[in-house]
A and B are shown apart, each in its own frame.
Chain A
């Protein structure tokens, strides 16, 4: 028998018992929906966790530091491990490591000045030194401009320009929404609501302005801010100035140092030269680093890289432990929720078995006729399995469509009514049109909280699973059908 003929017969039989088929399929739809929605809720939790972790740090970066007690065996006995250039080189040669950079923080207080007579001041500027050759490998991003390519050039944090205050206007600053969760609003008396401030331009174009860096071994900050903060003028002896130009802006990334947001990022060499100018005796000390960032090739390589580093005598920290705990929690939640959903699919499967048993018993005679006329047993089995599988498949497909709609509904309701409770969504839902919200509910986004997330594999899994369940529970009845003797047909009683 051709498979197309088996399918045709199977369709005819399902249509013949329309209401029974519909009810059985309905059972599978409910089962499929419950399992998909339950797992989608677990996926939603997972997505939120991942977002939270991402906001906390680059998960593939391991921070290496020394505790002071780490020892390492060398040819001349044990000696304390050091984070120096040699150590950095050895990290680079490790497997699954794609980037290594020492991180130096400028050890002195620094002030940046710009404009005529140093009109604009940014005080207590964070200055970070990294290996600029590892910039891309470590995942640093450029917001504007280029990496420094000649002496005297450094990079500025994306929002550094907004840290400058105007000393001629009482220290006033310009505002911009930095997209980092800090939120500012001004009270509008007319509407009685707090409205978001509008983005302004900074006082000057930081990329085309010469900046003067003021610092010193005992420098305590600019007299203007010290005065305004009332701490009095401290000893400002031994200050020095350095003229800098900004080659580009680094994309703000809190995980890679505050300096990427509103500080200066420079090459290690530039920083060492700067330190030498301030205090030549400190240069030697600057050859060991406080910490080194090691970036693993991917998340799964992080535990391995960490254990290698630890065996070398270093201390490490990463988000791996936390990520693993969260992942374990999520997968147990997924298992529990999926299990609850699976129960209703099991009930649906029993429904399929019931339908098929009834169908076999009422078609005993037909099966006998078909056998007498030379239908292969194999074809009869396939026919019944196809019917059971079709019920499962149909229920799975409709169930998935319904789940998609329900999931969309859950997200829309959640985004509309609960978003404000968490204060997590900065693009608050009310400001978006219905269609924009609908799109967010479907596709998600960086600052969208979805409660129910259905990844594409869940649809595939649900449909395949429902079909398999149908086949599995159709197997018993199909075998029963196969055993019906052809003799039943030839018997004369009607």
Chain B
């Protein structure tokens, strides 16, 4: 691993770093010019940490999340997860990497409408080639844990927003990934459900010592994190540990 090459970055955390961002820059072309969305981001997130990326809309926090998850290629610099430079992976390797190591919780839930709750949750395991009976058994037990034991065979349209997001959380954690990215997971929910959802994410992460990257502009939600990284105009303006 490249830790030896950049000892100053790993020194900030006592625990093993799982995500390392170096000199990350992302520009989007606009007409003849280009807009800088991220300018020289350097960030190291340790395993087991719940890290909140906080910022107003337009601060570049969603762009940073896309970069972390390998959704877009950076203009300059790169992201390393578990020592793997993800911008250098091809499409197939990236898919395999996501299957094994990454989980996602989306703001708009993003469940497949023609699949039941169990099938939605079992989907990441299906991509890995786990047989139907086994993966659905795992999906059922995790759905029971998020309190949807009575909604197993329901379709997304038959469930409330909070229930759908709990299915989304179950799906993100079903394959026991090392890193879970949560993009405004509470953005579409009412304040009571928000608390349930955040507590659920935190409890999963603590159980398996998983790393969470939480993107939000909601102050209250940021309080669930161990660390808050504040972004403004594509730069980190504040980075503090709160726990």
Contact = CB atoms under 8 A, between A and B. Distances in A.
Contacts of A485: 71
B98 A372 contact: yes
A433 B56 CA distance: 87
A366 B71 contact: no
Contacts of A370: 112, 123, 127
Contact of A487 (B71, B113, B124, B129): B71
B27 interface: no
Interface in A1-23: 1-2, 4-5, 12-13, 16
B16 to A, nearest CB: 23
A371 B108 CA distance: 16
Contacts of A369: 106, 110, 112
B204 to A, nearest CB: 17
Contacts of B104: 372-373, 490
B112 A376 contact: no
Interface in B34-85: 62, 65-66, 69, 71-72
Interface stretch (B4-12, B18-26, B88-96, B228-236): B88-96
B184 A492 contact: yes
A1 B129 contact: yes
Interface in A367-381: 369-379
B66 A377 contact: no
A477 to B, nearest CB: 18
Contacts of B106: 369, 489-490
B29 interface: no
A36 interface: no
A489 B98 CA distance: 15
A374 B102 contact: yes
A365 interface: yes
Given A376-B96, A378-B92, A486 B71 contact: yes
Question: Chain A contact residues (Cβ within 8 angstroms of B): what range?
Answer: 20 to 34
Contacts, number: 78
Interface string B171-188: 100000000000110010
B126 interface: yes
Contacts of A490: 62, 65-66, 69, 71, 104, 106, 183
A139 B127 CA distance: 65
Contacts of A376: 92, 95-96, 127
Contacts of A74: none
B193 interface: no
Contacts of A375: 95, 127
A375 to B, nearest CB: 5
Contacts of B124: 373-374
Interface centre among B100, B123, B132, B183 (most CB of A within 10 A): B123
B141 interface: no
Contacts of B171: 373
A373 B123 contact: yes
B99 to A, nearest CB: 3
Given A1-B126, A490-B65, 17 more contacts: A1-B127, A4-B132, A13-B114, A369-B106, A369-B112, A370-B123, A372-B110, A373-B99, A373-B124, A374-B95, A374-B100, A374-B128, A375-B95, A487-B66, A489-B106, A490-B69, A492-B107
